[in-house]
């Protein structure tokens, strides 16, 4: 922990008995001083206790700041923020807005997917490693805003489209084939070999 006396720090939460001073060091030198709380929580799965550390504030120039106060008073590099004068206005929107893609997959060729449904407003949507086929229906709500309803038609596994019902029958979680489907597939394969 630290050799700093909490009573010597201005605004330190002395009434909080769990508050401890922690010095973060880089290359042997103190880079930042945090005020933390540590808890021992019981993990329900393993039955073992796990130590959880929560940062509640920082100490700068022998003064305690909560994390909210610290973020409003200091920049990420630790330098003090200079308040803007009333004449200077902050921009309302970002110069470079952040573009967040929702996982739509436009680079996949739909012609290569077997049994892919035809129709308007049918799109592919990736969630993790799964590839869903959804149909969007657009409408205008009572406030005049354009909205859409998504209807999940199924999933694509190994370049083949399966409806939701087919997917539930053939696959378990994680896109692994169920035992019944594997047994039927093996029977069909052995029947084809006997015919040949």
- Structural domain span for residue 186: 110-195
Mark which of 44, 73, 102 sits at the end of a domain: 73
- Is the residue at 82 inside a domain? no
Q: Quick check: is 80 in a domain?
A: no
pLDDT (tens, 9 = 90+) of the chain, 196 residues, equals 567 888 899 999 999 888 999 998 888 888 889 999 988 888 888 888 988 899 999 999 999 999 999 988 898 888 888 776 666 666 565 555 454 555 554 567 778 888 888 888 888 888 877 888 999 888 888 888 888 888 889 988 888 899 988 888 887 766 566 655 556 666 666 666 766 6
Number of domains in the chain: 2
Residue with tokens 């060729």: 109
How is the chain classified by DSSP, letter by letter?
-----GGGSBT--TT-TTEEEEEEEETTEEEEEEEEEEEEEE-TTT--EEEEEEEEEEEETTEEEEHHHHHHHB-TTSPBPPPPPTTS---SS-SSPPP----B--SS-GGGSBT---STTEEEEEETTEEEEEEEEEEE-TTS-EEEEEEEEEEEETTEEEEHHHHHHHB-TTSPBPHHHHHHHHHHHHHHHHH-
- Considering the entire predicted model, what is its pTM? 0.41
Considering the domain architecture, whether residues 44 and 120 belong to the same structural domain is answered as: no
């Amino acid at each position: 922990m630290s050799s700093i006396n909490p009573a010597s720090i201005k605004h330190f939460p002395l009434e909080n008995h769990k508050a401890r001073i922690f010095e973060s060091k880089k290359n042997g030198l103190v880079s930042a001083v945090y005020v933390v709380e540590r808890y021992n929580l019981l993990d329900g799965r393993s039955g073992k206790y796990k130590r959880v550390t929560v940062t509640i504030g920082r100490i700068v120039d022998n003064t305690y700041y909560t994390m909210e106060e610290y973020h409003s008073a200091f920049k990420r590099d630790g330098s003090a923020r200079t308040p803007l004068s009333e004449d200077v206005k902050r921009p309302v929107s970002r110069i470079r807005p952040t573009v967040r893609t929702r996982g739509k997959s436009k680079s996949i060729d739909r012609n290569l997917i077997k049994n892919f449904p035809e129709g308007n407003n049918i799109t592919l949507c990736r969630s993790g490693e799964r590839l869903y086929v959804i149909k969007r229906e657009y409408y205008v709500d009572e406030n005049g805003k354009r909205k859409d309803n998504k209807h999940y038609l199924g999933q694509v596994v190994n370049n083949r489209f399966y409806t939701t019902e087919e997917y539930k029958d053939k696959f378990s979680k994680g896109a692994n084939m169920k035992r019944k489907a594997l047994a039927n597939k093996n029977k069909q394969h052995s029947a084809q070999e006997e015919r040949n």
